[in-house]
Chains A and B, each alone.
Chain A
C-alpha cells in the first residue's frame, strides 16, 4: 500500500517540488531575501565557493578511504579463511587489518612473483605509470590468489589507485620479513612508547592486585583499560605482566583459529579434534563464563610450546605456582545485546575469582565498542572496577620510536628522511601500530617514489612539536590546510598514499575546534589576493581549521553539531553586530535543511554555512595575531534544543491526557443527567406512602461533606417529611441536588483548566 502510493506520487512530487521552488523564488524576490544579502557580501561568495570546493575534495577523500576500508575487510576475510591453512598464528599484538600483511608475505614468499614487481618501481616516475605497473603486478597477485584457492570475487573489487598502491607495497614487503609492529614489539618497560605515568599506573594496579590475591581477600580485582586503538594498551599489559612475573591467560571469542594456546585445556583438546562443531555446540555466554572460571583455577597448557616452555611442567600438573592475569580483549557478541548477563558473570567472578581480571577495550566516539553499555558508571562503582584510560601516543614519542626503528632497518632498505617520519607520525594520529606499519610501507617503497609523488617532502612542514595531543591535531590541520592552499592537496595525496589514518574526534573537541578557531599568518601563503577596498572589512586571515573536516570527523549529523555550536557560540562573540550576523547564519543553516526531500544532501552544506558563518562574523579575530579576549575557561554546554523539544512534547501529551479526561467527564455528566431524568420520571416513581429506606439516605449523605450540601440534604429530608403526598416534588429536589453537585465539581474542574491554559 505504502509503496504503491509513493510510486504513484512520484511525478506529482516533482511538480510540487517545482511549485515550491517557484513560490520560494517569488517570495524571495518580494521580500528582499537571501540573494540580495549575498550581493552585499561578495566575500561570502568566496567562502561558499571554498566550501563547495572543500566538500568536493572531501567527498573524494571519503571515497578513497571507504575503498580502503573495504579492502581491509576483504583481507581480513581472506586471512580468516587462509590462516588456518598457513598455521601461522596472528600475534595478538597486531590488529586484524594487520594480518593482511602477514598473509601477503606468506603467500608471496611461496611464489616467484617478486621478480616482476621488482623491476618496475625504480623506472616509474609518475603516478599514472605506477598504476599500470600495479595492475600488472596485480594480475600476478590474482593468479596467485586463484592458485591458492581463495575466494575469487573479493580481489577484483580493488580498482582504486590508492589500494593498488598499497597492494603493491604489500608485495614489496615480502622481501622484508616480518611486520615491524610485530618485529619491534616492546619487550621491556623502557621500550614502551606509552606515557610513563600511565605505565606506572597500570603496574601499580597489577602489583596491588597480586598482593591482594596472595592475601586471599574476598573480591578479585578487575581493571577496565580503555583508550584509542593503537595506543599500546595490550602491549603495555603484556610487557608489565612479563616483568612482574604474571602469566597471561587471554580470552578470544572470534574464530577457532584465534583460540590459541591461551585458551583453557578442554577447549583446546576439542578444537584439535574438530574446531567448528565444538564452538557451535556451546553458547558464547556459557563458554565465556566457563573460561573465566577455569582460567581462574588452572594454569594454561602450552601445547604450541612457543613462549612458555618453562611453564609446561607446572601447567601439566594443573596447579598454578605462578601468578595469573586473565585478559579479555574481545567480549562475546551476545553480551552487547544483553549487558545484564555479562554483569552477572562479572559479579560471580568478583565473588569467587582469585586472579586479577583485565578488560582491554578500544574506545571510539561513536560508541561502537559499547563501553558505556557494558561498563556503565554505576556498575564500575558497584564492583570497584578500576578504570585506566590511555591517551593516544604523543607525537614526539612516536617520532623517536620511528626514528629508532628506521635506524635499525638501515642498510636493508632505503632510509626515510626525517620529514617522512614526521609526517607518518602525525598522520597516524597517535596510533603506534598504524604508524609503524605505515613507515614500513614507506621504506619498502623506494624513497624515489615518494619523491615522485610528493616533490616537496624535503621541505619540513612540522613546527616544533609539543607533546600534547591537542597540538598534534593542530599540526595536522595546519599541514593539510596549507597544502590545499598551495598545491592542490598534493601533500594530502601523499599522506594518504602512505596510508593516513582516518581520525575521529569527540564531540567536545569538534565543538571546541570551531569555537576556538585559529587563523594562520598570511605571510606563509603565496596565493592570497586582497579584497577590493570597499570590502576590506570582510578581509580575514586564512583559517587554520577546516570546519567541513571537523564536521566530518565528529561523525555526527550536521544538525546535531550545528545545534551544539549554536548553544555555545554566544559566549565567544563580543559585540551585538557580530551576534546579529552569526545568528543570521544559524538561521540560514536551519533554513537550508527545510526541504524535506533534500535534507540529507543539504545537511553538510548547512553545517558549512553555520560554522563558517560564525567564524567569519567574529570581527574581533580577523588576523592570526589578533588579541583574544581573555574569557578564561568557558565550559561548553549541551544543546538544550533536544531536551526542550522533548519536554514540550511530553507536556503536550500529558495535557492531551488531561483534556481527554475532561471531554469524557463532560460527556459522562451529560449522559448521566439525561438518564436520571428519564429513570426518575419513568422507572423510579415514588409512590404514595413510601418510606425512604435507611441505606438510600445514608448513601446520599456519604459523598457530601461540605455543610452547604448537608443543608441541602436536610432540605430533602424536610420535603420528604412534609410533602410525601406529592410525588413529583422530592424527585425534582433530588434533581436539583444532583445538579448543584455537578456544578460545584464543574467549577473545580474549570479552575484546573484555567490554570493549565494560562500557566
Chain B
C-alpha cells in the first residue's frame, strides 16, 4: 500500500524497536502532566520523527493520527505573499519553516501566534496545550531563531514546541537552553538488521542475514535508507540474492570519482575540474556537509597513519567554517586545496626517501 518505511513505522512508544530506555523516559515525561519544549536531534534516519509522533500519540491519543495537509498563507512586512504547507491534526501542527527561505521569521511568528491564540477545546479530557512541531530547525535563519526565542516564552501557556534537527551546532544557544534536548542516536547495524528481518517477515518475504547486513552497511546506519534500499532490492528481484550488489546512489559514485581525481593529480588545473564537480553536486541538492564527509571518507583511504590525523583535523576545521560561513564552495575548495598540498608534500617526501 505505502512504502515500507511508512507502513511499518511504529505508532506508539511501546512499539519502538530500539532506544527503549529513551522511550520509557518519554513516557514518564508525558505522564508527568507538564511538558517542556523539546529539541530532538540526531542523524537523519535515526527515528526522530517517529519518536515525536509516538510522543504526540501518547499525549493526545489516536486523534493525532488524523492528519490533514493545508496550505497556509502569510504576508511579510514587505507585502510579499508566502505559501507554506503544514501537516496538522486537531492537536498539533507540523511545519518546515525553512521552506520559505529567509522569510522564515514571519512564518514562525505568525504560525505560532495563530496556533497559540486558540485554546484547546476540551481541556477536561485533553492536555491544555497544543504542540507545534518545527522541522529542520538547524536550517532556520538566525533571525528566525531569535524570533522563536521570544515566541517560545510568550505562548508557553497554550503551546509547546517540538523542534527537530540534525545537529544542534546551528541552533543558537538561547534556544538550546529553553528546550529539553533529546538525542536520538542512529541505530546500530544489528538493530537495523533485526528491523529489516522483521519487516520482511511481515511482508511475507525472507531476507538472508548477509543481505540484511549488506544493506545496513550500505545505508550508513540510516534506517530510512536501509528500508528504502531493501524495498528497492525487492522490486528488482525477489528471492534476495546476497551476492548481488545493492544499488548505490549515483551521487555517491560521483563523489568517489571526485575524490579519485583529487588523489590522482595535484595542480590548479585539477582543482578547477574538482570545483566544477563540487558545483555539480551542490546544484543537485547534496548538502555541503555531506559532500565534505563523503570526500573525507574517500580521501582517507589513500592516506597513511600520520597524514590521516592531519587531514581529518583540516576537514573538521573547514567543516566548521562551512557551517558558520555563507558560501560553502569556498570552504570545500579550501579543503581540497589543503589536501592537495598535504598529499603532494607526502608524495614528494616519499620519493625523497626512496633516493
Which residues of A does B touch, CB under 8 Å?
Answer: 1-2, 5, 8-9, 12-13, 16, 19-20, 23, 27, 31-33, 559, 563, 566, 570-571, 573-577, 579-580, 582-584, 586-587, 589-591, 593-594, 596, 640-641, 644-645, 647-649, 651-652, 655-656, 660, 663-664, 666-667, 669-670, 673, 739, 742-743, 746-747, 750-751, 753-754, 757-759
Contacts A594-B325, A754-B228 given; indicate if A16 touches B2 (C-beta within 8 A): no
B-chain residues with CB within 8 Å of residue A656 when the two chains form the complex: 99
B6–A647 touching, CB < 8 Å: no
What are 16 A-B pairs at a CB distance below 8 A? A566-B329, A566-B330, A566-B333, A587-B325, A590-B326, A591-B324, A594-B324, A645-B282, A648-B282, A648-B285, A651-B285, A669-B1, A750-B232, A754-B232, A757-B228, A758-B249
Q: B160: shortest Cβ distance to chain A, in Å?
A: 20
B-chain residues with CB within 8 Å of residue A13 when the two chains form the complex: 146
Interface string of B328-355 (1 = CB under 8 A from A): 0111011011101100100000000000
B337–A652 touching, CB < 8 Å: no
Residue ID in chain B nearest A655 by CB atoms: B285
Q: B184: shortest Cβ distance to chain A, in Å?
A: 21
A750–B235 touching, CB < 8 Å: yes
Residue ID in chain B nearest A33 by CB atoms: B317
Contact of A590 among B231, B279, B330 (CB under 8 A): B330
B-chain residues with CB within 8 Å of residue A754 when the two chains form the complex: 228, 232
Specify which of A587, A596, A655, A673 lies most central, judged by the most chain B CB atoms within 10 Å of its CB. A587
A1–B275 touching, CB < 8 Å: no
Contact of A666 among B6, B113, B143, B271 (CB under 8 A): B6
Specify which of B67, B321, B336 lies most central, judged by the most chain A CB atoms within 10 Å of its CB. B321
A-chain residues with CB within 8 Å of residue B174 when the two chains form the complex: 12, 16
Residue ID in chain B nearest A650 by CB atoms: B283
B-chain residues with CB within 8 Å of residue A576 when the two chains form the complex: 266-268, 337, 340-341, 344
State the main secondary structure of chain B at its contact with A: helix
B341–A590 touching, CB < 8 Å: no
Q: B245: shortest Cβ distance to chain A, in Å?
A: 13
User: What separation, in Å, do the CA atoms of A590 and B320 have in the docked complex?
Assistant: 12
B-chain residues with CB within 8 Å of residue A16 when the two chains form the complex: 146, 172-174
B326–A743 touching, CB < 8 Å: no
Q: Is B316's CB within 8 Å of the partner chain A? A: yes
B235–A751 touching, CB < 8 Å: yes
Q: A310: shortest Cβ distance to chain B, in Å?
A: 59
Contacts A31-B317, A648-B283, A758-B251 given; indicate if A746 touches B1 (C-beta within 8 A): yes
State the main secondary structure of chain A at its contact with B: helix
Contacts A656-B99, A759-B250 given; indicate if A593 touches B326 (C-beta within 8 A): yes
B272–A746 touching, CB < 8 Å: no
B279–A759 touching, CB < 8 Å: no
Going nearest first, the 6 A-B pairs with the smallest beta carbon separation are: A758-B249, A583-B337, A580-B341, A587-B334, A583-B334, A594-B324
Q: A604: shortest Cβ distance to chain B, in Å?
A: 15
Contact of A579 among B231, B271, B329 (CB under 8 A): B271
What's the tally of chain B residues with a CB closer than 8 Å to chain A? 65
* Known A2-B109, A663-B69; further 12 A-B contacts with Cβ < 8 A: A1-B109, A5-B109, A19-B173, A570-B271, A583-B333, A583-B338, A593-B325, A645-B282, A648-B283, A649-B101, A669-B1, A759-B250
Specify which of B77, B250, B329 lies most central, judged by the most chain A CB atoms within 10 Å of its CB. B329
B250–A746 touching, CB < 8 Å: no
User: What separation, in Å, do the CA atoms of A579 and B341 have in the docked complex?
Assistant: 8
A-chain residues with CB within 8 Å of residue B267 when the two chains form the complex: 576
Q: Is B30's CB within 8 Å of the partner chain A? A: no
Residue ID in chain B nearest A646 by CB atoms: B283
B-chain residues with CB within 8 Å of residue A660 when the two chains form the complex: 69, 85
Contact of B150 among A9, A586, A759 (CB under 8 A): A9
Q: B26: shortest Cβ distance to chain A, in Å?
A: 26
Residue ID in chain B nearest A563 by CB atoms: B327
B268–A573 touching, CB < 8 Å: yes
A-chain residues with CB within 8 Å of residue B320 when the two chains form the complex: 27, 31
User: What separation, in Å, do the CA atoms of A664 and B69 have in the docked complex?
Assistant: 8
Q: B116: shortest Cβ distance to chain A, in Å?
A: 13
Q: Is B142's CB within 8 Å of the partner chain A? A: yes
B318–A587 touching, CB < 8 Å: yes
User: What separation, in Å, do the CA atoms of A663 and B113 have in the docked complex?
Assistant: 27
User: What separation, in Å, do the CA atoms of A325 and B216 have in the docked complex?
Assistant: 81
Contact of B250 among A5, A12, A743, A758 (CB under 8 A): A758
Q: Is B247's CB within 8 Å of the partner chain A? A: yes
